[in-house]
Amino acid sequence: MENNKMQEQIDAINQKLDIILEEVMAQREVRQNITDLSADMNIIGKDLFGAAVTELDNAGVEIDGEAVKVLVLKIIRNIETLNEMFDMLESFYDLIKDISPILHQAGLDGIKAMNRLEQKGYIDFIKESGKIIDNIVTHFELEDVRLLADNIVIILETVKNLTQPEMLSAINNGVVVYKSLDVNDIPAYSLWKAMRVMNSPELRKGLGFMITFLKNIASQSENINK
């Protein structure tokens, strides 16, 4: 019995030793693999570095080792800044993904709006309006444009005054009266007949209007010249 118990303990110790030995061998294999990988990477790195140096030398590019060292040190010192920059790029990428559907929908809405404008004839109208600009450019010279710029305020003031209700009414009355006249059947007036007509209240009022109008124009011109 005593021998059997001792043999069992020896067998248990042997099993544990086998396990430990297997673990040691596995770790040795891992270390050997790491060593081999490190050696391979070292060889690859040397080859890449040599190839890069050769390419740069062929291209006539000289590398300052001190400058490279300073660059590496700056990168290490600013690693946090680089991480923040990458975080910003990731956030920007997420933002682009979020707004892409909105931009896509906005593009579709823009296309639909342009299609509606084209169906209503706005696009053709704008295209034909370009001929107006072409005619203006070909008809007027650069000096005319300068004069227009110098006098644009006066022109706009004149247009503003002409578009007042009373002015539009007066112009419309004049147009209506002109349209009612038959220019091919205007009666002839002798001097004596004209003198008699001038005594009519309507003509005297008209003459008074013309004289007052001319006097005001003359007065306005004098004020401008001053």
d(CA 206, CA 193): 17
For residue 29, tell me if it sits in a domain.
yes
Task: Find out whether 220 and 226 touch, Cβ atoms under 8 Å.
Answer: no
Higher pLDDT, 132 or 14: 132
pLDDT, tens only, 92-131: 888 888 888 888 888 888 888 888 888 888 888 888 888 8
Mean pLDDT of 8-31: 79
For residue 83, tell me if it sits in a domain.
no
Q: Token digits for 72?
A: 């590496």
For residue 68, tell me if it sits in a domain.
no
Task: Find out whether 158 and 164 touch, Cβ atoms under 8 Å.
Answer: no
- Categorize the per-residue pLDDT at 192 as very low, low, confident or very high, splitting at 50, 70 and 90: confident
For residue 77, tell me if it sits in a domain.
no
For residue 113, tell me if it sits in a domain.
yes
Beta-carbon contacts of 117 under 8 Å, excluding residues fewer than 6 positions away, are 123
Instruction: Give the total number of structural domains in the chain.
Output: 4
For residue 156, tell me if it sits in a domain.
yes
d(CA 104, CA 38): 50
Look at residue 27 and give its three-state secondary structure: helix
Task: Find out whether 184 and 191 touch, Cβ atoms under 8 Å.
Answer: no
57 and 1 within one domain:
yes
Q: What percent of the chain has pLDDT over 70?
A: 89
- Categorize the per-residue pLDDT at 53 as very low, low, confident or very high, splitting at 50, 70 and 90: low
146 and 135 within one domain:
no
Q: Which residues of 125-136 are buried (b: 16+ CB within 10 A; e: fewer)?
A: eeeeeeeeeeee
The boundaries of the domain holding residue 127 are 91-139
164 and 194 within one domain:
no
pLDDT, tens only, 132-185: 888 888 888 888 888 888 888 888 888 888 888 888 888 888 888 778 877 777
| CA–CA–CA angle 189, 192, 197 (5° rounding) | 65
DSSP letter for each residue of 15-26:
HHHHHHHHHHHH
Q: What is the DSSP letter of 185?
A: G
**What pLDDT, on the 0 to 100 scale, is given for residue 189?**
74
Q: What is the DSSP letter of 186?
A: P
